[in-house]
Amino acid sequence: MTIEARLAELGVTLPDAPAPAANYVPFVVTGNLVHVSGQISQTADGMIKGRLGADMETEAGAAAAKACAISLLAQLRRACDGDLTRLVRVVKLTGFVNSTPDFTDQPKVINGASDFLVAALGDAGRHARSAVSAASLPFGVAVEIEAIFEIR
């Protein structure tokens, strides 16, 4: 089953890859690795803003992380000239969670991205990962995630 077919089965349509918000490129391909710049939590309806431990619950944060993962795949598709069959595996995610100093469930928030990638990609979606707190994130978003993918 293709990645696009699996995404459709999950009810997900990849959006166009978001444009960079500042002076950087959205991804860099070096050898067989694609380094995707941090993708913020946003959907077609706008940015998903909030601070975990203050005005946002863990489940809503996990949904924001899933939105980041969808944008990561959209960037990967762009990096692969539209051909997601080139994906070998997700190598690493680094997730940043806009959270209060006493919030300690960053891993549960970033699970929203990890669980989605495994559901969409199977074993190729399993990855190394970091999940860290941030005092704030760009535009007040709840989550930002960057990724490294291996391609053929």
pLDDT in tens, 70-119: 999 999 999 999 999 999 999 999 999 999 999 999 999 999 999 999 99
147 pLDDT above the threshold of 90 = yes
Alpha helices (H) along the chain: 3-9, 58-79, 106-121
- At residue 18, the pLDDT reads 87
Q: Which CATH class is domain 42-151?
A: alpha beta
Q: Is the dihedral of CA 16, 26, 130, 105 positive or negative?
A: negative
Q: How far is CA 60 from CA 20, 72, 79, 109, 152, in A?
A: 24, 19, 29, 8, 35
Pairing label, strands 128-134, 87-98: parallel
Closest by CA to 13, choosing from 67, 91, 90, 59, is 67
Question: pLDDT per residue over 54-66, tens digit each?
Answer: 999 999 999 999 9
Q: Is the dihedral of CA 117, 2, 38, 136 positive or negative?
A: negative
Q: What is the pTM of this model?
A: 0.97
* 113-130 average pLDDT score: 98
- At residue 87, the pLDDT reads 98
- At residue 115, the pLDDT reads 98
* 140-147 average pLDDT score: 98
